[in-house]
């Protein structure tokens, strides 16, 4: 299961994470986001303990979207050791998403 990333927990859950973090910037009204959601949840289950998976609802946490320059959703961002390591915009197949962080494991 993925974690809700908020303005309040971004530092502790993402920047201070000891493992890579996959963040899905999404919104409930976004069709491609709805399609991608189950894939993100599947990845969260398969990589539990090795990759932290979180979601940012841009309607509720627009500040985080603004800080990351998100202009289109879904956008996936990988953080590793507190730094942005990769980014992909648009729905993508599971293997493409995994390839964003596989080299960090």
Active site residues: 30, 33
In this structure, the strands spanning 83-89 and 75-80 are antiparallel
Nearest to 77 by CA among 32, 26, 37: 26
């Amino acid at each position: 299961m993925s974690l809700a990333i908020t303005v309040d927990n971004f530092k502790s859950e993402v920047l201070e994470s000891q493992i890579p973090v996959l963040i899905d910037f999404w919104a409930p009204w976004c069709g491609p986001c709805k399609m991608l959601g189950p894939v993100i949840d599947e990845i969260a289950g398969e990589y539990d303990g090795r990759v932290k998976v979180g979601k940012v609802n841009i309607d509720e946490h627009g500040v985080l979207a603004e800080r990351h320059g998100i202009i289109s959703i879904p956008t996936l961002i990988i953080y590793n050791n507190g730094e942005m390591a990769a980014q992909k915009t648009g729905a993508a197949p599971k293997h493409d998403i995994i390839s964003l962080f596989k080299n960090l494991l």
